[in-house]
Amino acid sequence: MSRLLGGTLERVCKAVLLLCLLHFLVAVILYFDVYAQHLAFFSRFSVRGPTRALHPVASSSTNCSRPNTTVPSSGLPEAPSARPGPTAPVLPPCPDSPPGLVGRLLIEFTSPMPLERVQRENPGVLLGGRYTPPDCTPAQTVAVIIPFRHREHHLRYWLHYLHPILRRQRLRYGIYVINQHGEDTFNRAKLLNVGFLEALKEDATYDCFIFSDVDLVPMDDRNLYRCGDQPRHFAIAMDKFGFRLPYAGYFGGVSGLSKAQFLRINGFPNEYWGWGGEDDDIFNRISLTGMKISRPDIRIGRYRMIKHDRDKHNEPNPQRFTKIQNTKLTMKRDGIGSVRYQVLEVSRQPLFTNITVDIGRPPSWPPRG
What amino acid positions are annotated as catalytic residues?
A: 213, 215, 275, 278-279, 305, 308, 310
Dist. CA 217–CA 312, nearest whole Å: 23
In contact, 267 and 231? CB cutoff 8 Å? no
In angstroms, the CA 269 to CA 338 distance is 9
Cβ neighbourhood burial of 144 (10 Å; 0-12, 13-18, 19+): buried
Query: Angle at Cα 137 formed by Cα 142 and Cα 203, nearest 5°?
Result: 35
Judge contact between 231 and 291, C-beta under 8 A: yes
For the CA atoms of 38, 39, 42, 48, what is the dihedral angle to 10 degrees?
-140
Residue 70 burial (CB count, 10 A):
7
- Name the nearest CA neighbour of 354 among 132, 157, 127, 161: 127
Distance CA 362, CA 58 (A): 76
Q: CB–CB of 156/115 below 8 Å?
A: yes
Query: What is the spatial distance between Cα 41 and Cα 247, in angstroms, rounded to a whole number?
Result: 100
In angstroms, the CA 78 to CA 308 distance is 71
